[in-house]
Structure formats: C-alpha cells, structure tokens
Amino acid sequence: MIKDFEQFQDMIARLYPELSQTDNTDPTAKKVLSKTVTFQVTDACNLNCTYYYQINKGKRTMKFETAKKLIDLLLTGDRRLNSYIDPQTSPGIILEFIGGEPFLAVALIDEICHYFYTKAIELCHPWATKFCISICSNGVLYFDPAVQRFLNRWRRHMAFSITIDGNRQLHDSCRIFPDGSPSYDLAVAGAKDWIAKGNYMGSKITIAPENLTYVYDAIVHMVDLGYTDINANVVYEKGWTKKHAAAFYQQLKKVADYWIDHDLFLTHYLALFNDTFFKPLEEDYLDNWCGGTGAMLAVDPDGYLYPCIRYMESSLGTKVKPLRIGHVDTGIAQTDCDRKCVDCLNAVNRRTQSTDECFYCPIAAGCSWCSAYNYQENGTADSRCTYICDMHKARSLANVYAWNSWYQKHNTDQWFPMNCPKDQALEIINQTEYEKLTKLSTEVRNNVIKA
C-alpha cells in the first residue's frame, strides 16, 4: 500500500462523495470542495529571503474590522458575495493566514479565528465544524508565548507548517535575516518541537535553479528530521534550462534509490513521485491546475479582494496591475470591472490557456502552472507559461525509474509506462540511460502480463 497524503480538502471530498463526482474522464481529478480564504494579515516579514516571490514587502497590518467584514459576508451568505463561495458547493472552508510572516500578527489571527468560530456557531453554520486554519511560518517566532498559546488553542483545526528548505546549506542560502544571519536553527527547533508534541507538520521544498543540486540532500534531511509528507515543486519562473533538467533527473534518481532502499513509499509521501501523473489527459478534462481562477479568495490588509494572494501587488510587483475582484465594504464583483474580471477567470480552463502542444502532451498529467504568474508574465491568466516544461519531462523520466524499480523490487502487478517521447527524453538524458529506462519499463510490464 503506497502512502497517500490526505489534506483537509481531501477529507472533505471523502465525506461528500456526491459533491466530488466529476463528469470528466480523469479518475484522479477531484473537485474543489473546500475553498481557501486567505487573509494577508501583514505584509511585513522578519526575514529577507532572496528568492521569495513576495517582492514588495511593506509594513501594513490588517485591522480586525476588515477581517470581520469579510467573515460576516462569508457566514451570512450576503448577496454581495455573488455566490463566489457558499457552503452548498464548498462544505469545508480553509482560513489561511499569510504574511509577510503571519506570526508577526498572531494576536489578530487569534481574534479572527475566535470571531469566525463563535459567529459560525451562533448561526449554526455548517462551517462551524468543517473549517481548517492553515498557517505557514518561517518559524522565527514559534516559541513566542503568544504563538504557543494560539497554536495550543486551535491545534485541532490547524494545518501548520514551518518552511524548511531541506538542509542547513539550502535553507540558509535563501532564508536569512536582514543583517544576513541565518534562520535554519530557529526553524528546525520549532518544527521538531511541533512534531515531538504529536502534531502533524506539513512541509514544502521550493526548487529553484540556485538550489537544484541540493534536492537529494534536502529531501533526505527532511526525512531525518521526522517529516513524513514532503511537498516539493519547481518554481514557475523563467530560468530553467535543459542542463537543469538533466541535473534534476539525476537528483530524483538518487532520491528514488534512497526511497526504494528504505521502503519509504510505504511510510512517506513525496510529491515529486506520483504514479497518476505523466500520462496524456482526456480532451474533456479541462480543470484549471490551481485554485487561482475562482477556487480561492484573498483579502489584503486594506480590504481589497483577489482570486489568490499571488495577484496582490506584494507578489506581482509593479509591472502589471494587481488583479482585484472586490472589497470587503462592497462585496465581490459589484462593479463592471470586477464582474468582468471574475467572468474572465471563470472562463479559463485547460483548453483555453494551453497550446496544442501542451493540451495533447503525452505527459500532460501533473504538469502544473500558476494562473497568477501567467497573468504577471503574459498579462492574462488565460495564457500558460511553460518555463517548467523540461523540468516536468525530467520528472516524468525519473518517475519511470522510481515506480518501475519499486514494482520490480516488490514484484507487484503494476508497471509505469514511458510516455515521454524519445526525442524529447534524449534532450535530457543520454541514449544509454534512455535504453535502460525503456528496458526497465518493458521488463516490468512483461512480468505483469506473464503473471
């Protein structure tokens, strides 16, 4: 049995199977049943990360009144919400708190959670029992008494993570204080304490060209620290080359050997290996990859509403206009401009934003994009950036290696096909490696057929 990873939204999908049915032909696809509402409680941060997408850091902090107005809109189902989010289609809700560093505003977050909870109970709202508080922190303030009080109070509803970029070297190459000093020890101490208390700790490794050669070390280190669910993704930004893809393949192959030697597929989840990805998608599978075209809602410290935090000025920089869809005072899509914006985002799907090459790609499943980054780069969320193309191909090849090696070791009745076209694979790995991979895949398939 392969270890799978159940997030809050997966649990809601399991509880509401009738709502999670999809009419497309991809059995792995799930409808979003838990919309995420993101509160950017502050845009200030106590670190000065070198690669962080949040470009414009500031000093604004949200007023409680601003958050309260949004919660009132959400829980009363006010018509000014324009049915953007409601408990019929979204039986669960995720309240996400983000910064800057969110724990710089821990008292405010606590007040918002308390207000949401008491108001939801007062209204007998279905979200009173089906909500999740999601916080990702840099860990610097983890041991602050106010943070500890907050975490203890809400731990049953908490999806909490401290960002650790793998090992010390990797982490401290990017996550530093304004004076240049490192933050790794603080982050690890917080993560270890949270895990030692029996809590679940999420994780995310962000892979960028500058840290690519540490991927293996970083993942092994996360396992050593006690993480059992490891999320990792490559950044969407421009800058990837075929050389990076070749190096990524080698790193992932090393990770695969480690995973198989230690039988970690049984006990750990690593997002980089996925046995449902790297195949073509049916033409009527049209879902957008991410929640940034209508499955999320974000509010900034000034009360402006966005489809995702990544559309805020603090993430986009100054090259393009922030993409707003309303304000807590007026609601969602109340002006012509905001309505047009919501309608445009609703119309975005996999077909409209993909070239034929991507739409009919033989390894399309799992090839991701960020709608807000598409907007930032192309001026519209409806035109997909594909800078990660070679990295996805490298990942598909490494998955052929990982899964077939695993199936072979355990003599299971499964095999993993090589769907990456030969000419494209040979731009990343050499002929000998390609032949080894196809031989492995064929051998495993033949064993399945014989059995």
- Select the span of 8-16, 148-156, 158-166, 286-294 touching ligand SF4 (CB under 6 A): 286-294
Collect all residues with Cβ–Cβ distance below 8 Å to 329 and sequence separation of at least 6: 69, 303
**Buried/exposed 10-42: b ≥16 CB within 10 Å, e otherwise:** eebbeebeeebeeeeebeebbbbbbbbbbbbbb
Residue ranges in 391-430 that form contacts with ligand SF4 under rule CB under 6 A? 392-393
Q: How far is the CB of 384 from ligand SF4 (least distance, A)?
A: 8
- 303: how many CB neighbours lie within 10 A of its CB? 18
What residue spans of 140-182 are helical by DSSP H? 145-154, 168-174
Query: Please, are residues 359 and 351 in contact by the beta-carbon 8 Å criterion?
Result: yes
Query: Please, are residues 7 and 229 in contact by the beta-carbon 8 Å criterion?
Result: no
Q: Which is nearer to ligand SF4, 250 or 386 (CB)?
A: 386
Contacts with ligand SF4 by CB under 6 A: the residue count is 20
Q: Figure out which of the listed residues 113, 147, 308, 345 binds ligand SF4, where binding follows CB under 6 A.
A: 308
Q: How far is the CB of 342 from ligand SF4 (least distance, A)?
A: 15
Q: What is the largest CA-CA distance in the chain?
A: 67
Contact pattern from residue 236 through residue 275 relative to ligand SF4, giving x for each residue in contact according to CB under 6 A and a dash for the rest: ----------------------------------------
> How far, rounded to the nearest angstrom, does the alpha carbon of residue 65 sit from its chain's CA centroid?
29
Q: How far is the CB of 38 from ligand SF4 (least distance, A)?
A: 9
Tokens of 292: 């940034």
Q: Which is nearer to ligand SF4, 190 or 291 (CB)?
A: 291
Q: Which is nearer to ligand SF4, 164 or 397 (CB)?
A: 397
Q: How far is the CB of 29 from ligand SF4 (least distance, A)?
A: 16
End-to-end Cα separation, the chain, in angstroms = 19
Q: Figure out which of the listed residues 74, 264, 290, 398 binds ligand SF4, where binding follows CB under 6 A.
A: 290
Q: Which is nearer to ligand SF4, 260 or 296 (CB)?
A: 296
Q: Which is nearer to ligand SF4, 182 or 417 (CB)?
A: 417
Q: Which is nearer to ligand SF4, 174 or 363 (CB)?
A: 363
Q: Which is nearer to ligand SF4, 270 or 363 (CB)?
A: 363
Q: How far is the CB of 345 from ligand SF4 (least distance, A)?
A: 10
Place of tokens 């051998």: 443
Q: How far is the CB of 419 from ligand SF4 (least distance, A)?
A: 10
- 451: how many CB neighbours lie within 10 A of its CB? 8
Q: How far is the CB of 370 from ligand SF4 (least distance, A)?
A: 3
**Buried/exposed 62-81: b ≥16 CB within 10 Å, e otherwise:** beeebbbbbbebbbeeeebb
Residue ranges in 357-396 that form contacts with ligand SF4 under rule CB under 6 A? 357-358, 361, 363-364, 367, 370-373, 386, 389, 392-393
Query: Please, are residues 366 and 392 in contact by the beta-carbon 8 Å criterion?
Result: yes
Q: Which is nearer to ligand SF4, 75 or 323 (CB)?
A: 323
- Select the span of 44-52, 196-204, 227-235, 290-298 touching ligand SF4 (CB under 6 A): 290-298
- Choose among 125, 101, 88: nearest CA to 41: 101
**Distance set, CA 87 to CA 11, 72, 77, 213, 363 (Å):** 16, 14, 9, 45, 35
Q: Edge-to-edge strand order for the sheet containing 269-270? A: 204-207, 229-234, 269-270
* Angle of helix 242-261 versus helix 389-410 axis, rounded to 10: 20
By the rule CB under 6 A, 310 interacts with ligand SF4: yes
Place of tokens 């052929």: 400
Q: Which is nearer to ligand SF4, 264 or 297 (CB)?
A: 297
Q: How far is the CB of 278 from ligand SF4 (least distance, A)?
A: 9
Reduced to 3 states (helix: H, G, I; strand: E, B; else coil), residue 182 is strand
Residue of this chain nearest to ligand SF4 (CB atom): 292
Q: How far is the CB of 371 from ligand SF4 (least distance, A)?
A: 4
Q: How far is the CB of 258 from ligand SF4 (least distance, A)?
A: 25
Q: Which is nearer to ligand SF4, 167 or 376 (CB)?
A: 376
- Distance (Å, whole) CA 213 – CA 227: 21
Q: Which is nearer to ligand SF4, 162 or 363 (CB)?
A: 363
- Select the span of 3-11, 200-208, 261-269, 284-292 touching ligand SF4 (CB under 6 A): 284-292
Q: Which is nearer to ligand SF4, 272 or 296 (CB)?
A: 296
Q: Figure out which of the listed residues 291, 301, 303, 331 binds ligand SF4, where binding follows CB under 6 A.
A: 291
Collect all residues with Cβ–Cβ distance below 8 Å to 204 and sequence separation of at least 6: 136, 161, 163, 231, 232, 233
- Positions touching ligand SF4 (CB under 6 A) are 290-292, 296, 308, 310, 357-358, 361, 363-364, 367, 370-373, 386, 389, 392-393
